[in-house]
Structure 1
Amino acid sequence: MLTKSVNRYIIIVGMNFAIASGNITSASAQIPNNLQPNSNPLNLPTSPAQVTVQQTQSLTLQQSLELARRRNTELQAVLLQIERSRAALREVEASQYPSISLNIELTRSRSVSIPSASQQTQQFESGLSQTNTVNQPESVTTFNSNLELTYGLYNYGQGLNSRRAAEEQVRLDELETELTSAEVRLNVTLDYYNLQQADENVRIRQSAVSNAQASLRDAEALERAAVGTRYDLLRSQVNLANAQQELINAISSQRTAQIQLATRLNLPETISVRAADPVRLNGLWNRTREESIILALQNRPELRQNLTQRNIAELRRRIALSQLKPEISLVTRYNLLDRFDDTVSVTDGYVVGVQGTATLFDGGVARAQAAQQAVQANIAEAQFANQLNNIQLEVEQAYFQLQSNLENVNTANIALEQAREALRYARLSFQAGVGNQTNVINSENDLTQAEGNRVQAIVEYNRALARLQRAANLE
């Protein structure tokens, strides 16, 4: 589970995901209970029933974004990276405190020894056997304890720079969370628009099949009345077969879009999704091209990431060079010693002093490490400049796509009305015997094409708007 230290960033992510279609909502979308996150992320399906679709759930774009905030595995992973970096920061901070160690020994030993020459002489004079040249074994029990305190007084900024580097790493992971949040939000939005378009394509193809069936009925009726031709009948049958095939392909694309969105939301395998929002324009962009570029350059986390990476490289360069400087520490030891079964009581002792350690020669390792970090800082600066160009290009592409797609929507609306009217006239003419089946079929195909173009124009506009909002990193 995520700990409290990342709750703030979960809230930030939630605010980011509250954006949909250019509008900021004041509250999270209501999520059905059957779509709540699984408490066991390691759950592995083991039977076909566990991966068989049993339910289709209608979702709005807002609900999809909220589900992604709660369930998307990529986003949860970067949130955990913040937790890891904060733990690393606590480790660095803890290393700045004094270290205290306690060592305790309780030993019992038994040893024998060979008497010296004088001891052997005394034994001989006292009448002892000369063969008894080994002293009797002696058992000794000893208690020894040592308490030591070490505190680094000065290390030429190594500890301070290490802490600052760890803080910058936390900041870098926070920016990565912001970046991932924006990317997941964009991907979910695009997946939702893909599903909307797939749903509309199924509806359009179903309507095309219905129109083709109606034309076939008209052709059959005219042939029975001896006013139609066999050619018109065959042409209608082919048109119906083509429409049915297009419908089958549209249903296949719809299922693919459903799976893509469900996977992005990390939904259970037993649940399929359906787009609940109608296809319509999801807002207008009221900023100029120049204002959009400046807004993006001010908001994009990638640029701040590059600057943070440069700061980390500079701090690590200083850390590497500080290894060549002396390190001064305060060392204090206190010792207790007691040998049992002797005439001496517990004895103690202590040591208080200042210890200095210096690396006289390391073969150039520290300077090589410093050189690597200096190059890494230059790389971050180059990436910053490259990112500036990429962001500007991204904004301009999305901006001009948005403008052209808006024009396409207006054109597609007009063309759709004209196609409907043309089909109506073609059918009336055919039924009155003054037209032909070819005109009807062509008009039906034109209507299908016009409906598809309208949906395509609206969805493409919404995609461009989502990309432009992502490029500007609007929250």
Structure 2
Amino acid sequence: MNTNLNKLRAIQFNAICTISALILSGASGMAAASILDPDDLQLQPARSMLLAQNTPSNIGKINNDLNLPKTGADVQITNTKSLTLKEAIDIAFRNNRDVQAARLAIDRDTAGIRSAQAAQALQIGLTSTLQNQGSPVIFGTQTTTSSNSNIQGQLQATYSILDAGRNSSSVRAAEEQVKFSKLDLLRIEQKLRGDVTTAYYDLQAADSSVIINQASITDAKRSLSDAQLQEKAGTGTKFDILRAQVQLATANQNLVNAQGQQQTARKNIAQILSVDNNTEFTAADAVSELGDWRYSLEDSIVLAYKKRPEIQQQLVNRSISEQQQIIAAAADSPQVSLFANYNLGKTLTDSTSAQDSYSLGAQLSWSFWDGGAARANSDRQKVNQEINENQLTTQRNQIRFEIERAYYSLGTNKKNITTATQSLQQAEESLKLARLRFQAGIGTQTDVIQAQTELATARGNRISAILNYNRALASLRVATVLVE
């Protein structure tokens, strides 16, 4: 008798331990669909890892190489590539992390629409309970126990027919969020386009500066040769040679500085393009005017207002706040839903047959007093709408200033191109005449040096005017979201 009692107590003790373990692990004995096999607990880490690998936050995740270079050879420039402006923009769109993140945000928010739509659909759920009831013998001398085991299941379907606009507003808010994300992608792409274009024109300016300074060295060497010939012929002086040598040294120094700026410009565009640090880029496009702007200042401003993603984003934000206001106000409104339940139960310790039942009906829920929470949330969304309107005004003024600044710069540099081109032609002719006069003995070395300096300045002014014109033109195209 005592032996059987001890066995029964051991069984009861093990049962209590098992139930406690299930509770501590987050399982609910009253709502469990089935009893877990202890061997399955060994599979939980693997299942958790599999779940983590398939969560939306890891879809399309960008892998970063954290292995730092260890030798100088690892960071040495090993590749030089010449690329056009269009190729540079295409590379940036493929590699830029902000663009990739914006595209993933669109996928995430698109899934949010499906989630919001699911709340409007018919909801079906299954609940199953397996339980054992009895009078356990833990203390005392009782030798008999009574217990029974039963299993119950419930199939329930619900459908909301009145929700004060909560579900439909949730769907519309999710749709507006997708619009916002698409506009944000456009905004990021336009900003990236402007950054790449600016970096490319800086590279062109640096390359042109090197070419101009190389030409200045050629001119300085020629002047030095002329001075040496004049000195040998007895018509020149040592002073003229020294001045020509100083001019040549200055030209060499300017070339070194230009080459340093060229290296900086090449690394800058490589960084913007998000390519490997071992590649160096050169500009394949020649420096030239890239077209005309066919819109007036007023039309440009209106066009920017219509197409700029920043303006549209503020409008979308206001629409989202309006939908959120409806959702907040619906919290203290009546909610009506239809339901259907089917129940099935069976006692396992006797031979009685399973019992089933069903129920159909409608359910009304109404939180008519929530301490003012619904009203407060609704008022908060109204304030958000006012904030969006204020930001819209600020953004509109900023866009207008961008358009006006680029438009005036475009006109100014258009005139400067004409002036600089004429000045370049005059400077070239002036240098020719100064050399002829110096060779004929009626001019001075000072005239030649001055003419060389003016020619170098004229060359740089023309390049600067063309590139500044192109920068202004690109700024107008980016500001009005026009790609040509």
- 1:368 corresponds to 2:368: no
2:54 counterpart residue number: none
- 1:281 corresponds to 2:303: no
Secondary structure of 1:323's counterpart equals helix
* Deviation of the 1:425 alpha carbon: 1.6
Secondary structure of 2:65's counterpart equals coil
The residue type equivalent to 2:173 in the other structure is: A
2:93 counterpart residue number: 69
The residue type equivalent to 1:435 in the other structure is: G
The alpha-carbon distance between structure 1 residues 357 and 173, as it changes in their structure 2 partners (threshold 3 A), is same
Residue by residue, what CA displacement relative to the aligned partner does 1:255-299 show, whole Å, maximum 9, x if unpaired? 222122222222222211111010000001222223322322332
- 1:189 corresponds to 2:197: yes
Q: Is the 8 A contact 2:162 2:336 kept in 1?
A: yes
Query: Which structure 2 residues correspond to residues 14-33 of structure 1 after superposition, within 5 A?
Result: none
The residue type equivalent to 2:64 in the other structure is: L
The residue type equivalent to 1:417 in the other structure is: Q
Query: Using the alignment, how far apart are the partners of 2:348 and 2:404 within structure 1?
Result: 86
- Report the TM-score, using the length of structure 1 for normalisation: 0.83
409-418 vs 62-71, greater mean Cα deviation: 62-71
2:112 counterpart residue number: 88
* Deviation of the 1:133 alpha carbon: 5.6
Residue by residue, what CA displacement relative to the aligned partner does 1:401-420 show, whole Å, maximum 9, x if unpaired? 11110110000001111111
1:54 counterpart residue number: 78
Query: Using the alignment, how far apart are the partners of 1:399 and 1:40 within structure 2?
Result: 39
Q: Is the 8 A contact 2:153 2:343 kept in 1?
A: yes
The residue type equivalent to 2:323 in the other structure is: L
Bigger relative contact order, structure 1 or 2, given CA contacts below 8 A and separation 6+?
Answer: 1
The residue type equivalent to 2:312 in the other structure is: R
1:152 counterpart residue number: 160
1:3 counterpart residue number: none
Secondary structure of 2:153's counterpart equals strand
- 1:210 corresponds to 2:218: yes
* Deviation of the 1:390 alpha carbon: 2.5
300-309 vs 397-406, greater mean Cα deviation: 300-309
Q: 2:346 aligns with which of 335, 338, 349?
A: 338
Q: Which 5+ residue runs of structure 2 have no aligned equivalent? A: 1-59
Query: Using the alignment, how far apart are the partners of 2:142 and 2:62 within structure 1?
Result: 71
1:306 counterpart residue number: 314
Query: Which structure 2 residues correspond to residues 161-240 of structure 1 after superposition, within 5 A?
Result: 161-240=169-248
* Deviation of the 1:301 alpha carbon: 2.5
Secondary structure of 2:126's counterpart equals strand
Query: Using the alignment, how far apart are the partners of 1:62 and 1:467 within structure 2?
Result: 16
The alpha-carbon distance between structure 1 residues 39 and 80, as it changes in their structure 2 partners (threshold 3 A), is closer
Secondary structure of 1:341's counterpart equals coil
The residue type equivalent to 2:469 in the other structure is: Y
1:31 counterpart residue number: none
1:457 counterpart residue number: 465
Query: Using the alignment, how far apart are the partners of 2:67 and 2:237 within structure 1?
Result: 59
Query: Which structure 2 residues correspond to residues 104-143 of structure 1 after superposition, within 5 A?
Result: 104-108=128-132, 111-112=135-136, 134-138=142-146, 140-143=148-151
1:42 counterpart residue number: 64
1:359 counterpart residue number: 367
Query: Using the alignment, how far apart are the partners of 1:373 and 1:242 within structure 2?
Result: 66
Query: Using the alignment, how far apart are the partners of 1:316 and 1:282 within structure 2?
Result: 47
Residue by residue, what CA displacement relative to the aligned partner does 1:306-360 show, whole Å, maximum 9, x if unpaired? 2211111111111111111122222333222222231322222333332222223
* Deviation of the 1:55 alpha carbon: 1.0
The residue type equivalent to 1:158 in the other structure is: R
The alpha-carbon distance between structure 1 residues 306 and 107, as it changes in their structure 2 partners (threshold 3 A), is same
1:428 counterpart residue number: 436
Query: Using the alignment, how far apart are the partners of 1:432 and 1:474 within structure 2?
Result: 58
Residue by residue, what CA displacement relative to the aligned partner does 1:186-223 show, whole Å, maximum 9, x if unpaired? 22222211111111011111111222222233333434
The alpha-carbon distance between structure 1 residues 192 and 133, as it changes in their structure 2 partners (threshold 3 A), is closer
Query: Using the alignment, how far apart are the partners of 2:395 and 2:119 within structure 1?
Result: 37
- Report the TM-score, using the length of structure 2 for normalisation: 0.81
Secondary structure of 2:349's counterpart equals coil
The alpha-carbon distance between structure 1 residues 422 and 370, as it changes in their structure 2 partners (threshold 3 A), is same
Q: Is the 8 A contact 1:201 1:250 kept in 2?
A: yes
Query: Using the alignment, how far apart are the partners of 2:236 and 2:332 within structure 1?
Result: 99
The residue type equivalent to 1:99 in the other structure is: Q
Query: Using the alignment, how far apart are the partners of 2:176 and 2:259 within structure 1?
Result: 50
Q: Is the 8 A contact 1:112 1:134 kept in 2?
A: no
Q: 1:253 aligns with which of 254, 261, 265?
A: 261
Query: Which structure 2 residues correspond to residues 3-14 of structure 1 after superposition, within 5 A?
Result: none
- 1:446 corresponds to 2:433: no
Residue by residue, what CA displacement relative to the aligned partner does 1:137-164 show, whole Å, maximum 9, x if unpaired? 3454332223222322211001111111
Residue by residue, what CA displacement relative to the aligned partner does 1:32-64 show, whole Å, maximum 9, x if unpaired? xxxxxx997423453254433211111112212
Q: Is the 8 A contact 2:289 2:466 kept in 1?
A: yes
Query: Using the alignment, how far apart are the partners of 1:283 and 1:62 within structure 2?
Result: 15
* Deviation of the 1:381 alpha carbon: 1.8
Q: Is the 8 A contact 1:222 1:228 kept in 2?
A: yes
Secondary structure of 1:143's counterpart equals strand
2:323 counterpart residue number: 315
* Deviation of the 1:426 alpha carbon: 1.6
2:41 counterpart residue number: none
1:23 counterpart residue number: none
412-421 vs 168-177, greater mean Cα deviation: 168-177
203-212 vs 406-415, greater mean Cα deviation: 203-212
Q: Is the 8 A contact 2:150 2:349 kept in 1?
A: no
Q: 2:393 aligns with which of 377, 385, 389?
A: 385
1:26 counterpart residue number: none
* Deviation of the 1:103 alpha carbon: 2.4
